[in-house]
Amino acid sequence: MKTIEELAHYYATDKRMSDHGFTKFYEKHFESRRDQKLNICEIGILNHPDKINRPFERASLLMWKDYFYNSGIIGIDINDHKRLNGERIRTYRADQGNRAKLKELFQDNQLDIIIEDGSHFMHHQQISLGVLFYNLKPGGIFVIEDLHTSHEDMLPSFRRSIEDTITLNMLQDFNKTGIIKSTCMTDEEINYLNDNILECVIETANMSEIAFLYKKK
């Protein structure tokens, strides 16, 4: 059985160690759940323009399908990728900043793992967390990738306005105070997060931080 790094390398995802370097942290947080029958959702379906070095469209969805070999995989993207639907993979079109659409997609359906790898904008990261943490099963994991966009040099491109809370700062402050504060979420979303986050583990990869938020059981 291939490791997640072997799969990431085969499918040429940017999660592999030669790129962002997220796979060692995914191994750490996901390996104990690998054999289970899970519902897994990733926000963001990369269609890389380099078809020579990155030939697989939906590469990370294929990686998750092979790694979690008993599980169903859901991909969400602002573009329509339904042509990519296949065995144990389903894709849906949605703007991750559209609360109504995110709620419509899942309603009361529960997910075991949610991976946020969408636009990397502050408000999109936080809206996705605020809305979809409700759909995470007790004991589930919500992942936020690519927190380098919270770094000062990246903020002009990834912050909608000066009022938007910086995602990495929000998570680091939570680890200090136990309280989520965000100008991008509703009071209801913030209260739900504060009542239901068990812990937030922030890992430092090659060029970016990645956060794993565990839901209370």
Q: What is the DSSP string of the chain?
A: ---HHHHHHHHT-TTSTTTT--HHHHHHHHGGGTTS--EEEEE-----S-TTTS--TTHHHHHHHHHSTTSEEEEEESS--GGG-BTTEEEEE--TT-HHHHHHHHTT--EEEEEE-S---HHHHHHHHHHHGGGEEEEEEEEE--GGGGSTTTHHHH-SSTTSPPHHHHHHHHHHHS----SSS-HHHHHHHHHHEEEEEEEE-SSSEEEEEEEP-
Burial degree of 37 (CB within 10 A; 0-12, 13-18, 19+): exposed
CB neighbour list of residue 198: distance below 8 Å, 6 or more residues apart? 214, 215, 216, 217
- Rounded Cα distance between 65 and 81, Å, is 16
Does 120 qualify as catalytic in the annotation? yes
Q: Annotated catalytic residue: which of 120, 123, 124, 148?
A: 120
* Residues annotated as catalytic (active site), given as ranges: 120
